[in-house]
Amino acid sequence: MPPQLTLTWHPNVADMKVGLALGSWGTRGRLLRTLLILFVMPAVLFGVLMGSPGQGIAFGLLFGALSPFAFSAVFARKLVSRQLARAESHEIIISSEAVERHLAGTVVRHPWSAVTQILELPSAFILLRGATAIGSIEKSAIPDQAVLQAVRTLVSSARTVHVRPSAFLALELPAAEA
């Protein structure tokens, strides 16, 4: 196992959508907030404005069902354009001491002592402090299976890795895993 790995990540819409998904429905609280904002509030507002609760409910369902598809793509593209305006790529350095992200003269360092848990999603490793995501290692920066295995080895030597099949409620760890 090498003492450190250096990866080059290029901002992309797919990775940004994962971040937005974690923010929208990564925990039960975030899921409830998202449902309230996307379904309930538009239904009540439209129902009051139109004077018809039935139309309000129909509008709330339609708005809520279409929002994740329409808005997440728009927000993800906006995030990517902002990232690309700062630098075309990020350098991610994973060592036995920390995970660092270098971009445009800025270094963000997450020592393993500050990371309490690590989630492995299909598209990224998410570094957590308690229930708060503090960093990530995007798998799109990993060029092949051998490097992925090396990343898994380095990361799992620092903390236990909890594998999740998707971002839906991914930030909620069962008591047995906490």
Give per-residue pLDDT as tens, 108-119: 999 999 999 999
Share of the chain above pLDDT 70, in %: 96
Q: What is the mean pLDDT of residues 6-13?
A: 94
Q: Which residue has the higher pLDDT, 24 or 174?
A: 24
Secondary-structure class of domain 4-9+88-163 per CATH: mainly beta
pLDDT value, residue 177? 55
Whether pLDDT at 175 is above 80: no
The pTM of this model reads: 0.79
Name the packing angle between helices 13-25 and 53-86 (round to 10°): 130
DSSP structure class, residue 159: S
- Identify the H or E element spanning 49: helix 41-50
Give the residue with greater pLDDT, 73 vs 161: 161
Domain limits of the chain? 4-9+88-163, 15-86
Three-state SS string over 51-115 comes to CCHHHHHHHHHHHHHHHHHHHHHHHHHHHHHHHHHHCCCEEEEEECCEEEEEECCEEEEEEHHHC
